[in-house]
Structure 1
Amino acid sequence: LAPEKQKKPPKFVEILVDKTETVDNTVVFEVRVEGEPKPTVTWYLKGEELKQSDRVEIREFDGSIKISIKNIKIEDAGEIRAVATNSEGSDETKAKLTVQKKPFAPEFDLRPVSLTVEKGSEAVFSAHAFGIPLPTYEWSVNGRKVRDGQEGARVTRDESTVDGASILTIDTATYYSEVNHLTISVVAENTLGAEETGAQLTIEPKKPPAPKLTRDLKLQTVNKTDLAHFEVVVEHATECKWFLDGKEITTAQGVTVSKDDQFEFRCSIDTTMFGSGTVSVVASNAAGSVETKTELKVLETPKETKKPEFTDKLRDMEVTKGDTVQMDVIALHSPLYKWYQNGNLLEDGKNGVTIKNEENKSSLIIPNAQDSGKITVEASNEVGSSESSAQLTVNPPSTTPI
């Protein structure tokens, strides 16, 4: 009698290895196992047992066991496992099956979109194509290929996925072009072919900032026969229109419209010709417009039989350079006031001067006093006028010896 063989549990001496195969092809896995008694091998794909069928062939040849799976599909991709068992135990080996699509030429599923941007802005174009093998991308602007390191243009890739989109960024501030309308094209290519798509880039001149009010109109209350002075400061405005009760007013009889510098716009209204109403100004440029409004209140002057008479006159004043000066007067008989320094008319809101008139009282306020001189105030009505004068002395700041 032959000696009884020593029993041993199964052991795979050739194990499964990962395989990658193309759709509709046949994939073959092979193992070799030892054990006593002879092990039985069972195959599993994605946890499901594989048995002999039209698609699956299992055969043993010269000590190795092979399994062939025909007409594989994308959904077959996953873990394949071989389990060997006998009365003494079991062993297993496993591998990964990857199923790839058949090679095909690139086909775009994301195409660049035409853009219109302002000069100085960035224009970003994205493109993505499916293809096996994975395609490469080449961008062109007006037929010229975009190269690495080219000023104003760069090509990057979305790295969030293996086959991320290709991205072209054009910085219109530095990209040189003789024209403002550019044709953008991109070619996706692999060994089986290529596909091209494109878009348009329009670069518009940079627009100026929208107008910005830095000084609004202020309420003006004046006596009839006085001029009402309005001032507005607007940055970036190319046009400024004035309105009284919604009707545009321009320089004409009774109205003076002027522009003092780049930002300051002024309007003077003769109240003998225009009464109370809403004054508004609309400042605009190519980027937009801004509006501000206020009220003009014209006070009717009662008939007087006497010329103005000062009850509180000006008094000489001595201040330090840089101080704020305020001088007040009060006169009877409906006075209209005008202030002068060294014979020069002072106007409210000009050169920092503020003039406040409240009934019979008038106040002159000069911030940051700089110059000495004679201050005169004239009070007038339809009967006549009176004056009050005083000396304003502006001393230099005192210095403390060290």
Structure 2
Amino acid sequence: MSRSIRRVVPALLSALLLAALLPPAALAEDSFYQPPDPLPAGAPGDLVRSRVSDNPPTRAKAKAWQVMYLSTNALGQRHAVTGTVLVPKDVDAKTAPVVGLAVGTHGPAFRCTPSRMIDVGALYEQPAVTDLLTRGYAVAITDYEGYRPEPRTTYTVGRSMGTAVLDVVRAALRLPGTGLSANAKVALRGYSQGGGAAMWAGELQPSYAPELNLVGVVGGGVPADLIQVALPLDGKRGYGLLATALMGLDRAYPELKLDDYLNDKGRSEYARMQREACTVELLTWYPNGRLADHTTTSPVLTPPWLARVRENKLGGNKIQVPVLQYHGDNDDLVYPPQAKELFAAYCRLGVNARWQGYPSDHITLVYTGNEAAHQFLADRFAGKPATSGC
């Protein structure tokens, strides 16, 4: 095992264990996360509220804020999203680049909110955050849609995740006290759910946030085609991810009516997931779960669901900046062939894209892919030309 792996794998285990063992009182309900009704006037990325925050692993390196900002959901409607902004203390903020970091799966329960995990030192992607800050980059991290005391998360819905990523970057640039420049160079990166979110943000940016000075996008373990990702998880250890994706689509698109497909056991278990499940629970509660155990009829291949899934398939729009896409050859949670199909689609669209494969499973690559991602970002911020792998 390499020195880098020995360094980061304990971080994963420690973060997941801490998140799983935190008593409910440690993550008591917090009114900061409840959006005001009605929402204030404003444009996407405008701040609703903010407060100084804490990030135990980096409190000596960075100033931190939790933010609530305006964004746009999958139906094009205004809503409010929360997140975290971190700015390194030892750099000139006016010249600091900004990374929109899209985190991976955290689970549907309110206690799993990424910014709350950051605040208690339980973010399993903390090594990536720390490395970005050490390199002198500000970091803007969205919680995605729906993390509030009565959670309605829209897990894997690209048209919601992409706007949330772009708007947390906007919020960081507009947040008083950061000192960041409105013209700062911006890059987007993420892994797993976050890889899909970063790619969605890249595809949406030219029309949705053209003012951002975007220079590069990195996505690892990307779930590009939800059908090809979801079906192999049925009956496998990733069933909890499949179930949460169904709940996410249902919340994003109310006409799907997931409850009509569930049996009594499914209603009970899916409600339990929404109340209690974070990453550990999603991967351990249902090691061989099956849709047939929780539904009277599977919704996955019905016309209404297929139509919404197709709307959230990556590869339909050109990303205008260089892209690095990486994936584990032995990925057991995000089907590798569909990721390679995304890369081929980007090449056909004329994207300056590069593919990097690893002899790795999904979870290990959360960490072992970081160095290549960081180098790609460093080159983009330095203005070096990117070599296409198409």
In the superposition, the TM-score normalised over structure 1's length comes to 0.19
Which of 1 and 2 has higher RCO (CA within 8 Å, sep 6+)?
2
**Bigger Cα Rg:** 1
Q: Which protein is richer in helix relative to its size?
A: 2
Q: Which protein is richer in strand relative to its size?
A: 1
In the superposition, the TM-score normalised over structure 2's length comes to 0.19
